[in-house]
Chain A
Amino acid sequence: MRVVVIGAGVIGLSTALCIHERFSPVQPLHMKIYADRFTPFTTSDVAAGFWQPYLSDPRNPQEVEWNQQTFDYLLSHIHSPNAEKMGLSLISGYNLFKEEVPDPFWRNTVLGFRKLTPREMDIFPDYGYGWFNTSLTLEGKSYLPWLTERLTERGVKLFHRKVESFEEVARGGADVIINCTGVWAGALQADTSLQPGRGQIIQVEAPWMKHFILTHDPRLGIYNSPYIIPGSKTVTLGGVFQLGNWNELNSVHDHNTIWKSCCKLEPTLKNARIVGELTGFRPVRHQVRLEREQLHFGSSSVEVIHNYGHGGYGLTIHWGCAMEAANLFGKILEEKKLSRMPASHL
């Protein structure tokens, strides 16, 4: 079975690994990954890697499960010797609001979820309500190389290549294409519901920061409000989410917005040294596109599994989606087996 995965962000690499781990014992797989960007230049590398879904219920209830499966999978690795190499660690912290809000659908997935006490709210004078919980960070700049190592150990080959069409990949001899092209999926097949949700982040050295602090303003929308997420070596400052903005350059205006609002939230940041600044495009969609499609080119056909459109929660949901993609792959294998059987057995 010849499989080509397009895309080498967290979705492409984890889907490739999940499928290979599950099926290569029972089915010879020739798997290749084609991508025009690899770590550290993917969208996943810009993300802070903090596990937290959006606050509102997803349109597709399956996404609730996929988020939970990802958290449980990562938590089960937290004490493994691989955790640090994977860029995985526990982190606790604060979600802040101006007014009371209902608990999120993931309150029982994370650890120790509770409301903030009045004395804790005193730490954040601009906010009136909040949550405290323990979650995880999974840093792309470590996780992607770790996934790459696991894949190359298994004989999966990665190629630096810009794919122009599904047809070119099909004609090159692929039986199954896994489409993990993220925000650029529209170049291979038009998708009007997919848009960039541009984000910009500032990386600083602030090793005294031990908690994440995320603020929320319903008037501005998700991630358009300051956030501070400590990582293993640096702290990510952010808070822009601009729909439809394809500008990949860092914006001075956004830098100033992020810096001012984060320093207001956490005055000690004024002493932090800035060590980097990055822009990335969240692949925004009303829900994740995770489904099969059969494409026909002349007399031949190719099976495609789409797995893109994870918005600002790609790392958060990646493993649940990878497992679902593997389920779909399993169905494809079943169907191919059945179609090869002599007619009398059908």
Chain B
Amino acid sequence: MDTVRIAVVGAGVIGLSTASCISQLVPRCSVTVLSDKFTPDTTSNVAAGMLIPHKYPDTPVPTLKQWFLETFQHLSAIAKSAEATDAGVHLVSGWQVFRSVPQEEVPFWADVVLGFRKMTEAELKRFPQYVFGHAFTTLKCETSAYLPWLERRIKEGGGVLLTRRIEDLWELQPSFDIVVNCSGLGSRQLVGDSVISPVRGQVLRAQAPWVKHFIRDGSGLTYVYPGTSYVILGGTRQKGDWNLSPDAGLSREIFSRCCALEPSLHRAYNIEEKVGLRPSRPGVRLQKEILVRGGQRLPVVHNYGHGSGGISVHWGSALEATRLVMECIHTLRTPATMSKM
């Protein structure tokens, strides 16, 4: 075949960045993104987009660190360029504070972010209930700008975006040669993955333009993330909860926790509630699979299950998925090896 036809299912940050990466790096291919939801209606749109990764039980730390580093470098280059404001990427500094000294005083990502150090006594005075903290500078990748920017890049590269709900990956044959599955929580139904489940997150979007720093409780449950158009106050981690409607009681409680960290937030205004379901899995599923049905073969590259760390590792993940796609193409283009499978 001359042009490999690639279908990417899912248009959140993982789907769009993988599609973009493939169209940049894979020669002689066409890329089509299919999804029932596009920005601003994806899970990624609710996320604050702060580059602070977390660990997954089943994903090795060196792999995670590599993905985070690749993402950080990729976004740093965008942040310095003329595209920065269109892409919604900017630097932000702040603090992560702990009520008790953590076991791991220096996290695995400390040398990836900028200027990482422990907080001084004077800095900790502002957080009377906290005894330890990190100060550093990282990037914020605002999905409300980043996703549309990725969509534009995909289209400029000749890619196509289609609004379509896929119920079965076999629908994509014979129109496509390779499928890249970035359907997040949708994989539960789409590929029958019972290991992926939602972790519900409720956040508030508010106006408080005087807040210039991020503040995060080391547990990750409470955070204040200032962005270009609003500050995000969070959050919740409700396992197995599929409810997409905001809960007013939870909103009050989130607001109160965030005001404890940053009292000036009492004067925040234009507060909106948002809910997202994190596609949570013990490990990110990033692997090839060949689906077989009635003599037909469909190569699939899975790239889903990033939980609360999607934006933090998305580019590293996209690069790995692209590499797997290239392996699939190589296999497809060398018929001799197929008989050995």
Q: Contact residues of A with B, CB < 8 Å?
A: 78-81, 83-84, 89-93, 111-112, 114, 116-117, 119-120, 123, 132, 134, 207-211, 230, 232-233, 267-268, 270-271
Interface size on B, residues (CB 8 A): 34
Q: A78-B126, A81-B266, A114-B117 are in contact. Are A210 and B90 (CB under 8 A)?
A: yes
A-B contact pairs, 17 of them (CB 8 A): A80-B263, A81-B266, A83-B264, A89-B212, A90-B212, A111-B120, A120-B114, A123-B80, A132-B115, A134-B123, A208-B84, A208-B85, A210-B213, A211-B91, A211-B93, A230-B212, A268-B82
A79–B264 contact, CB under 8 A? yes
Name the residue among B80, B93, B209, B210 with the largest chain A CB count within 10 angstroms: B210
A210–B126 contact, CB under 8 A? no
Please name all residues of chain B whose beta carbon is closer than 8 Å to the beta carbon of A232 when the two chains form the complex: 209-210
Asked whether B160 is an interface residue with its Cβ less than 8 Å from the other chain, the reply is no
The CA-CA distance from A233 to B115 in the complex, in Å, is 27
Residue of B nearest to A117 (CB): B115
Q: How far is the CB of A135 from the nearest CB of chain B, in Å? A: 11
Interface of B is mostly: mixed
Encoded as 1 (CB less than 8 Å from any A CB) or 0, chain B from 84 to 98 comes to 111010111100000
Residue of B nearest to A142 (CB): B210
Instruction: Identify A210's interface contact among B85, B91, B115, CB under 8 A.
Output: B91
Encoded as 1 (CB less than 8 Å from any A CB) or 0, chain B from 260 to 287 comes to 0001101100000000000000000000
Name the residue among B93, B115, B212, B227 with the largest chain A CB count within 10 angstroms: B212
A207–B114 contact, CB under 8 A? no
Contacting residues of chain B (52-100) with chain A, CB-CB under 8 angstroms? 80-82, 84-86, 88, 90-93
Q: A89-B264, A210-B90, A210-B226 are in contact. Are A268 and B213 (CB under 8 A)?
A: no
Instruction: Identify A120's interface contact among B115, B226, B263, CB under 8 A.
Output: B115
Q: Which 9 A-B pairs have the closest CB atoms?
A: A232-B210, A208-B90, A89-B210, A208-B228, A271-B85, A79-B263, A210-B212, A92-B93, A268-B84
Asked whether B319 is an interface residue with its Cβ less than 8 Å from the other chain, the reply is no
Please name all residues of chain B whose beta carbon is closer than 8 Å to the beta carbon of A119 when the two chains form the complex: 114
Residue of B nearest to A268 (CB): B84
Q: Contact residues of B with A, CB < 8 Å?
A: 80-82, 84-86, 88, 90-93, 114-115, 117, 119-120, 122-123, 126, 135, 137, 209-213, 226-229, 263-264, 266-267
Name the residue among A84, A91, A132, A230 with the largest chain B CB count within 10 angstroms: A84
B267–A84 contact, CB under 8 A? yes
B229–A111 contact, CB under 8 A? no
Please name all residues of chain B whose beta carbon is closer than 8 Å to the beta carbon of A132 when the two chains form the complex: 115, 137
Please name all residues of chain B whose beta carbon is closer than 8 Å to the beta carbon of A210 when the two chains form the complex: 90-93, 212-213, 226
The CA-CA distance from A91 to B117 in the complex, in Å, is 17
Please name all residues of chain B whose beta carbon is closer than 8 Å to the beta carbon of A117 when the two chains form the complex: 114-115
The CA-CA distance from A83 to B268 in the complex, in Å, is 13
Q: A210-B90, A210-B92, A210-B93 are in contact. Are A111 and B123 (CB under 8 A)?
A: yes
Known: A81-B263, A84-B210. 17 other contacts (CB 8 A): A79-B263, A80-B263, A84-B267, A92-B212, A111-B123, A116-B115, A117-B114, A119-B114, A123-B80, A134-B123, A207-B209, A207-B228, A210-B90, A210-B93, A211-B91, A211-B93, A232-B210
The CA-CA distance from A132 to B94 in the complex, in Å, is 12
The CA-CA distance from A232 to B231 in the complex, in Å, is 13
The CA-CA distance from A215 to B64 in the complex, in Å, is 37
Instruction: Identify B85's interface contact among A93, A116, A233, A268, CB under 8 A.
Output: A268
Please name all residues of chain B whose beta carbon is closer than 8 Å to the beta carbon of A270 when the two chains form the complex: 82
Q: How far is the CB of A197 from the nearest CB of chain B, in Å? A: 28
The CA-CA distance from A83 to B135 in the complex, in Å, is 23
Please name all residues of chain B whose beta carbon is closer than 8 Å to the beta carbon of A91 when the two chains form the complex: 212
Please name all residues of chain A whose beta carbon is closer than 8 Å to the beta carbon of B84 when the two chains form the complex: 208, 267-268
Instruction: Identify A112's interface contact among B135, B227, B228, CB under 8 A.
Output: B135
